Structure 1
């Protein structure tokens, strides 16, 4: 009996579903429709004569056969990518800038997803402020940037948005009559500017007591009890609490995250699509 080879697109669809836990996210990563992903998986399951994914209205999970097949599926895709890369003789480079207010604890997992999409792609990631990264992008020093919505820019692909709040250490106390002590990023920083504008509009006196070179430094200042910082909950250090309501501080808006890119080759676009889908899943999972 003749055995037909596996469809690599179907195998890739299965791996995306397993990684992202969603047919919708898998479709976004593959730049196709949910119906097309479902059909690919159905054909793969028919070829293997087993159910790989258990579907319910509430969740998507691998079956026992799916768990067993996943490692083989990854190996198959990796060998395929190595074979293609071997024909070119060199790795393709993709330089990505990610805003410090966007790159959070999920960054290692996001890089792993990109690498799994194309192990032969040379990925360079630079972290900085949204304004600086957009300037580098406009100078063509970066292929792609993932940044917060920046004043004066209306371009870019919307990925998601996140609520911001005012956070401090649990033991921190505000001295009555003193300006609100803020820990911020150095200029230019859109979140810093937003925080100041909202406090000024609400008539809340404030002063900077700490300026960090990155969100990790600002979070450390919060934990150290220096003051309050405007942060997305996803970026919080362990134990920090929202003190906005307690102090009567103005509500902060949800800030969009946008992707700006000029890559045109299929491999880089596929890797970026996988990154964007994984980022959406990570942020929405944290927000739920």
Structure 2
């Protein structure tokens, strides 16, 4: 009877879900070479090629796709068995910045839930400043937020390009101030946008403030205004109007992780989340 190495199965699932040996190694806190070795041993054990590798991508083979469901079930049963032996259920209070989550929030949450179903995760979505203050007060265990001008700590995760977005049919009248939609202060992207406009001598007027990133995106889609947004969170169908309107370039928006967790399960969940965010950010930015 064949037996499977649980760490090799973990490596396979990580690579399959993150679509990258680099991201899988980050999530598992190991090296790419170690991940590759575990995958080879698993494939040798099963007598099947599970992954197809090219210089630019990793994808499941037909046998890998068939095995993925069983592999996830095996890991879930393994994690549940360990959880049943623990004295207290693990819990992670996590804050995710509105400008960081964007349309990828379902992907991030699904990855968390799939990684450790027995881990209770309390997720708070909000402004980066509010979440950092909550982290400093000890109300949440970790926060993934945009880098704030007055704080240079935290683990760097991604840097997303920022541009000026509007609806395709939006028109700006040169004789009038630029109509802006933005999150309420304090927002580092809003602050950078206003600073850049003032430095370029471009008059502006905020016509939509607050409402979260979904609200700002709705204002853009409705044709109310232009918004400075990270490309990854711009609403579907919005176009970059920076060059057409002669608007100033904007610095990238950096995402950072602040964490104060000691239990291995919460640390592992955060590693998976960080690797997932890096992966989706890279793919979206490459496709832009």
Q: TM-score, structure 1 length as denominator?
A: 0.96
Among 31, 34, 47, the alignment partner of 2:32 is: 34
**How far apart are residue 35 of structure 1 and its match?**
0.5
**How far apart are residue 47 of structure 1 and its match?**
1.4
Show CA shifts across 1:159-209 (max 9, x none).
Answer: 110111111111111122111111111122111111111111111111111
1:136 aligned partner? 134
**How far apart are residue 20 of structure 1 and its match?**
1.0
1:269 aligned partner? 267
Once residues 128 and 158 of structure 1 are traced to their aligned partners in structure 2, the CA distance between those partners, rounded to angstroms, is 19
2:168 aligned partner? 170
State the aligned residue count.
286
SS in structure 1 at match of 2:120: strand
1:222 aligned partner? 220
Unaligned stretches of 5+ residues in structure 2: none
2:73 aligned partner? 75
1:62 aligned partner? 60
For the 8 Å contact 1:143–1:263, the answer to whether it is kept is yes
Show CA shifts across 1:195-248 (max 9, x none).
Answer: 111111111111111112201001111111111100112212222111111111
Once residues 56 and 244 of structure 1 are traced to their aligned partners in structure 2, the CA distance between those partners, rounded to angstroms, is 36
Q: How does 1:150-229 map to 2 (within 5 A)?
A: 150-229=148-227
2:143 aligned partner? 145
Unaligned stretches of 5+ residues in structure 1: none
2:16 aligned partner? 18
For the 8 Å contact 1:131–1:190, the answer to whether it is kept is no
Moved more, 109-118 or 275-284: 109-118
For the 8 Å contact 2:183–2:210, the answer to whether it is kept is yes
2:92 aligned partner? 94
Once residues 28 and 148 of structure 1 are traced to their aligned partners in structure 2, the CA distance between those partners, rounded to angstroms, is 20
**How far apart are residue 40 of structure 1 and its match?**
0.8
Once residues 115 and 43 of structure 1 are traced to their aligned partners in structure 2, the CA distance between those partners, rounded to angstroms, is 27
Once residues 222 and 43 of structure 2 are traced to their aligned partners in structure 1, the CA distance between those partners, rounded to angstroms, is 53
